[in-house]
Amino acid sequence: MTMRVLLFTRYPRPGAAKTRLGARIGMDRAAALQTAFIRDELCMLASMQAATTLCCDPAAPLDDYRRLFGERLPCREQRGADLGERMLHALHTALGEGARRVVLIGSDLPDLPARQVQSAFAALEGAPLCIGPAPDGGFHLLGLSAPLPPGIFAGVEWGGAGVLYRVLGTCRTLGLAPALLEPWPDVDTAEDLAAYARRNRDRDTHTMALVRAFNLAPEAWKS
């Protein structure tokens, strides 16, 4: 194994995941959409035959994730006191198990294209670190070809608009020069979901099937 993708997620339980989206459309619908997001991401990764591990929030048993997303999908518990520690632990574990390049993505990227993951792996040929920015000031992808210092995420306020700015500043302080990829939007809010629907109105995906079934943004695909 030389390349691996880590898909980071919480269990899609109503009220525990996609709560900003759920505040607008209902927590049950938001949880169902997160399940669809993950399924669409797994389909994308399968299309490029990427070795994938689902990195699971330990609030739910791994067997619950396997029942939802497939018994044969490798699953592993996230470990760490906060999101930064959990991501570093997962990335460093994959490197320690023999991956030469490892890419981590979140579970709110239902239309992330395979080319974005492929670009990350290509960037890691010449850089120890690559980052995929998100329009909200965070990042949607983090890739490593070598371990990072433990303080790389020190002081980061996860979920805030300054996440990427803070991480890039720390990289400069530590003498790291991350490769920056094309920005890509995640889906956190009802507005994000409407933008997703506009981009994907002609596609047949798990997420679009639910958007249509729930009649959440009909203006997004009507001409």
Q: Is residue 199 part of a domain?
A: no
Distance, C-alpha 26 to centroid of its chain = 22
Tally of structural domains, the chain: 1
Q: Is residue 192 part of a domain?
A: no
**CA 102/CA 100 separation, integer angstroms:** 7
- The more confident residue out of 90 and 17 is 90
CATH number at residue 105: 3.90.550.10
Q: Is residue 220 part of a domain?
A: no
| Range 24-44 average pLDDT | 97
Q: Which amino acid is at 62?
A: L
Average pLDDT, the chain: 93
Q: Is residue 210 part of a domain?
A: no
Q: Is residue 28 part of a domain?
A: yes
Q: Is residue 61 part of a domain?
A: yes
143: containing domain: 3-185
Predicted local confidence at residue 221, as pLDDT:
52
- Beginning with the edge strand found earlier in the chain, give each strand of the sheet holding 75-77 in spatial order: 75-77, 52-56, 3-9, 101-105, 139-144, 129-133, 179-180
Predicted local confidence at residue 223, as pLDDT:
44
Q: Is residue 23 part of a domain?
A: yes
Predicted local confidence at residue 1, as pLDDT:
56
Render pLDDT for 55-73 as a digit per residue (tens, 0 to 9). Answer: 999 999 999 999 999 999 9
Model confidence band, residue 216 (pLDDT cutoffs 50, 70, 90)? confident
Q: Is residue 122 part of a domain?
A: yes
